[in-house]
Every structure is written in C-alpha cells, then in structure tokens.
Structure 1
Amino acid sequence: MERLKLLLAGGNGFLGQHLAHYFTRLGYEVVILGRSAKPGTVRWNGRTLGPWAAELEGAAVLINLAGRSVDCRYNAVNRYAITRSRTESTRVLAEAVAACRNPPAVWLNSSTATIYQHTEDEQPANTEATGQLGRTFSEMVAQQWEAEFNLVALPHTRRVALRTAIVLGADGGALPVMARLARLGLSTPQGHGRQWVSWLHIQDFCRAVEFLVARPQLEGAFNLCAPEPLPNAALMALFDAHYHPRWHLPQPRWLLKIGAFVLRTETELILKSRKVMPQRLLEAGFQFRFPDCQTALADLLPQLP
C-alpha cells in the first residue's frame, strides 16, 4: 500500500522535527523542505519556485512552518526579514499549489497566537470568533502572514491557519531556557507577573495538527493552545516549586529591558499578555492530554538534563 506523502516546509526546527517523527510513526512519507542540504531534506530558498515544487504533486498534506525567529531586536533590518520570511514562503507555496495537477488536499500554515492584542488582567480570553486583533509590529506581521495565506484561490486545497502559542518541549523551544534561568534563581514573576501566558505541550501540538489534518470539515484559523492560560507569576511559581533555587532574584521591567538589550532580543516575548482559548478545537471535540500547565511541566521538567 502506497504511503501518504506529507510535505513539511521549514521542517528542520524544533516543531518541524517533532511533526516529522510523529507523522512518520503514523505511516506517512515525510518530505522536508529546508534551506540547508541536510540528509533527507529537499532544498528550497523560501522565495522562488524551483525543482522542490514537484514534491507537492500528489501530496496529501502540506505544512508550512517557515519563518525567521522573532528572538532578536526589532530593528528595521530584522523587522523586514521577519515579515518577508513569512509572507514570501507562504506566497511561493501558494504559487506551487496552484500549479499542481493533483494538489495537496490540505495545507496547514503557521500563524501565531500573538496575532491578538495585549489582554489585560480580567479581559476575556481571545477566541477565533471574538478575539481582538492588535496593531503592534508582531500582531501586524501575523495578520499579513494570514492574508498572504488566503490570497490565492485554491479550490481543491483546504486551508488551516495555526495560531500557535508557546510550545513547551524538553528538547527545544523556550522551555529549556526558562528552566535553566529558574534554576539560577530567576523563578520570580517577570515584570508585574500579571501578564497571561498561553502555551501548549509538544505532544498536544502534534496531536492537534493530526486532528486538523484528519477532519476535512475543519478549515480557517485555529488557536493552538491549552485551554488553561495562566498568569506569568503562576507559571514562575511552578518552576520555583520544582527547582527550589537557593535564592530568588527579582525581575522588574527595567531590568528585563536591560537584559533584552544585552541578549539582543525584545521584552515583548515575555511581557506581552497572551490570553488565548482554543475554542474551535474544543468545539470540534479535541481532547488535550495536558490541559493545565502544572501537569505539562510535571511531565517535561524531569526530562531536562
């Protein structure tokens, strides 16, 4: 029996490698599009059509994770690169899909839960139906990304935008860095600590993607996050309870700004309040294995070195 093909654009990172392993175990033939000549990777530049486009012909699933990291200073050069890497890769994939005689049945394209505006303490969580889209740089990038995704008419390909929150895993992403800092005493609230954190266990991320692939009636934007966001102070308390550091170092906003400047990153990554709910996933019947952060961290933190 011929295996279904899944094409994974930008698949050499943390999320991509987990999806590749997950869908390989499900029996898919996984083909990765990447910028480097790694074994098992088909090269592309994320901007122009090339021989890689032939891989789309007859594929069952296309997943696009391509995009420059936002862990940098938001100067003019980096802003341009962040935006271009997302919109250009999405545009050229749309061109390739449109040219297929037998296009992929479903295309899942990365987006971000950062698309929603900063959500204060008691404001309701952002759902796909009622969420308030923001106007800052990061929020506008996400909106441009999704606009590019929906621009070209693709009548034979179902499209799903993945508005993904912070994905927690033991072998990549933000969690190992957060845990290392917590061990050193930075398990205190960041800033005032009231900003909301939306998150998702890596297992539930992969399971949610599989869930969306398998249900042809589901399309449009989906929030990929656990159903229980929590304030930053509560998240840091979970790290503190696990590591019991010998001392506790305060993290006021002014100190975080200095640290972000030194590390060449932005405080938005930890100070923006992201209060997001996966309403459409829940309504469709998806069941989370890790609905609360305490359970997720109890699973993941012991796996860290």
Structure 2
Amino acid sequence: MMKKVVLAGGTGFIGKYLEKQFTLQKYEVIIISRQPQHITWSDTMGIKAAVNNAELVINLAGKSVDCRYNEKNKQEIFDSRTETTRILGKAIESVPNPPELWINSSTATIYRHAEDRPMTEATGDIGDGFSVEVAKAWEKSFFDFNLLQTRQVALRIAIVLGKDGGVMTPFKNLVTFGLGGFQGPGTQMFSWIHIEDVYRIMLFIRDRKDLQGVFNCSAPNPITNKQYMAQMREKMNRKIGLPSPRWMLEIGAVIIRTETELILKSRWVIPERLEKEGYQFKYPKIDEALADILS
C-alpha cells in the first residue's frame, strides 16, 4: 500500500517543494487548501478521510505575514493559523487510524529581538508584539490536543531560503538593482534555513519515533543582515550595494504593503535540540546554501 502524507496549506513556497520531494519518495500526497482543486477546509469528511491511515500530517497553513498589519489582515493571519490547526486536530482525534506524526509549522519569530545572545528551545525568551502573539496562539492551539497515538512536533521555522520563490526573489531584486547593501543597522541577526534542510528535518523526525515537542528549525550558523547581503552580492557578482536606512524601509514598506519587522527584527535562533539529537545539516553555512540556490 502506498504511504500517504497530508500537506495542509501545501500550495505555498514550502508546500510545493515538499509535494515534489514526497512524490519522488513514492508517497501519495494529499493537499488541503483554500483552492478548489484540493480538499478544502470546510470539507470535514474529506479531511477525516485524508488524515486516516496517513503516515504523517504536515500543517503549513496560514495567510502570509508579508502584508500591512491592519486589523483585517491581523485577524486573517491569526485565524488562518489557529483555526486550521484546530480543524486538523479534531479530524485526527476522530479517525480510527490516525497518523503516527503530526508536524505543525510555527515560527522562529516567537523569540524576542535578540542581539545579545542566541535563543534555544530551552533558554530562549519569548518576545512580545503581534507576530509573537500569533505564534503563541498557534502553538497553543496545536498542543491543546493531547493525542495518544500521534506524536506532535512544532517546528519554529526560521527564514526559509530556496530557489523558487520565498524571500529570495525580493533579495535578488535588491542586489540586481544595486540596492543590495545592508538594511537598517545591518547588525540585526538573520536566522535562516535552506529549504532542503526543512524537508530533511521532517524526515529525521519521522524516523526518530522518540522525538516530540518544540524544535528550532534553523541553520546552526546565523549571520548578521550585513553579512547576508555581502554574501548575496558576492554570489551574484555585484560589487556595489547601497544600504537601506530605516526611514527608507518605512516608506518602502508602505508602498509595497508589508512591515519593516520582517527585515529589522533580530532573529538569533540556534537549533540546539536538532543538533543534540544528531541531525546533520546539509547546508550549515550561508555561503554553501547561497552557492546552491543561486547556481
């Protein structure tokens, strides 16, 4: 019988990559999304049938945070994460053959702005502000379920770097047009992870039946924004990159309808649990990751 994986919210940048990889591994891939060609979030029976007999369920659902934080968008960002998590949990609770593993995405943004020390799962300080409240509610809606037959893992995912989309597109555009200098002070930490490591971490957790709880999903060598942009320029053969001071970012964010927090928050996150458990990163350093992505 073909192994089955359910990708909830599987139509975004990470979801498309996972769909491709799991298909290559001869999995039956079932997608739940708002798009009519997939199982939709209102299809309770369809979702139950999907999670029943699945080997694993991966939930990536959530409205993009790359928008202005007005009240309407904030509510959608919040509900699109907590409600979809509750729908999945109730479905898993109700089926005779629940999945062995449920991975729910969370975010490394749950930690505070950190320029003084790295944040681990054990010693990281939870921050404050809207995006942190979303992350806390997201994890609570996940761990409120106490599933006897299903391991639960929340991945606090850092900024994901990959070839086809995500943050690489705007960063590449900045460098191409000569604006690839540092943003804001440039000292803010940039925690990142190659998309292939996201997939491999999921397989690692799948195979390690003793693992559950919260994991930081980030490369072990975070860098500053200044170092990151320098690496981008080097790999793209651009000698000059004008920096973007904070005031310029504020104006630009309004024009392109996003928030400066996405660039200016210092995310200094270390994957302590994964490293302790023996996970070997394929791309531990930014130069290797960018060499692959920009090749």
Q: Give the TM-score taking structure 2 as reference length.
A: 0.97
Structure 1 residues 149-164: aligned runs within 5 Å: 149-164=142-157
* CA distance in structure 2 between the aligned counterparts of 1:247 and 1:127, rounded to whole angstroms: 35
Letter in 1 for 2:83: E
**What per-residue deviation string (whole Å, max 9, x for no partner) do you get for residues 203-260 of structure 1?**
1111111111111101001111100000000001111222343753230001000000
* CA distance in structure 2 between the aligned counterparts of 1:204 and 1:263, rounded to whole angstroms: 30
**Conservation of the 8 A alpha-carbon contact between 1:44 and 1:50:** no
Are positions 1:43 and 2:40 aligned together? yes
Counterpart of 1:7 in 2: which secondary structure? strand
* CA distance in structure 2 between the aligned counterparts of 1:85 and 1:107, rounded to whole angstroms: 18
Deviation of 1:58 (Å): 1.2
Are positions 1:128 and 2:127 aligned together? no
Aligned with residue 237 of structure 1, among 230, 237, 250 = 230
* CA distance in structure 1 between the aligned counterparts of 2:260 and 2:273, rounded to whole angstroms: 30
Aligned with residue 83 of structure 1, among 62, 73, 78 = 78
**Conservation of the 8 A alpha-carbon contact between 1:195 and 1:272:** yes
Counterpart of 2:44 in 1: which secondary structure? coil
Aligned with residue 102 of structure 2, among 107, 111, 120 = 107
Structure 1 residues 194-233: aligned runs within 5 Å: 194-233=187-226
**What per-residue deviation string (whole Å, max 9, x for no partner) do you get for residues 67-96 of structure 1?**
000000111111111000000000111111
Structure 1 partner of 2:165: 172
* CA distance in structure 1 between the aligned counterparts of 2:239 and 2:153, rounded to whole angstroms: 46
Counterpart of 2:134 in 1: which secondary structure? helix
Deviation of 1:162 (Å): 0.9
Structure 1 residues 1-40: aligned runs within 5 Å: 2-38=1-37
**Conservation of the 8 A alpha-carbon contact between 1:105 and 1:157:** yes
Q: Which runs of 4+ in 1 moved over 4 A?
A: none
* CA distance in structure 2 between the aligned counterparts of 1:71 and 1:236, rounded to whole angstroms: 20
Letter in 1 for 2:196: Q
Structure 1 partner of 2:263: 270
Counterpart of 2:10 in 1: which secondary structure? coil
Q: Give the TM-score taking structure 1 as reference length.
A: 0.94
Structure 1 partner of 2:252: 259
Counterpart of 2:122 in 1: which secondary structure? coil
Are positions 1:118 and 2:113 aligned together? yes
**Conservation of the 8 A alpha-carbon contact between 1:184 and 1:245:** no
Letter in 1 for 2:181: T
Counterpart of 2:39 in 1: which secondary structure? strand
Letter in 2 for 1:14: F
**What per-residue deviation string (whole Å, max 9, x for no partner) do you get for residues 91-142 of structure 1?**
111111111111111100010000000002xx22111111110111101110
**Conservation of the 8 A alpha-carbon contact between 1:106 and 1:158:** yes
Paired residue total: 295
* CA distance in structure 2 between the aligned counterparts of 1:33 and 1:51, rounded to whole angstroms: 9
* CA distance in structure 2 between the aligned counterparts of 1:157 and 1:260, rounded to whole angstroms: 41
Structure 2 partner of 1:62: 57
**What per-residue deviation string (whole Å, max 9, x for no partner) do you get for residues 158-194 of structure 1?**
0000100111011110012201111111111100100
Deviation of 1:6 (Å): 0.7
* CA distance in structure 2 between the aligned counterparts of 1:14 and 1:239, rounded to whole angstroms: 20
* CA distance in structure 1 between the aligned counterparts of 2:139 and 2:243, rounded to whole angstroms: 38
Q: Let me know the Cα RMSD of the aligned residues.
A: 1.3
Letter in 1 for 2:65: V
Deviates more, 1:285-294 or 1:50-59: 50-59
Unaligned 5+ segments in structure 2 are none
Unaligned 5+ segments in structure 1 are none
* CA distance in structure 1 between the aligned counterparts of 2:141 and 2:32, rounded to whole angstroms: 19
Aligned with residue 295 of structure 1, among 243, 266, 288 = 288
Aligned residues: percent identity?
Answer: 48
Letter in 2 for 1:64: N
Structure 2 partner of 1:96: 91
* CA distance in structure 2 between the aligned counterparts of 1:52 and 1:221, rounded to whole angstroms: 25
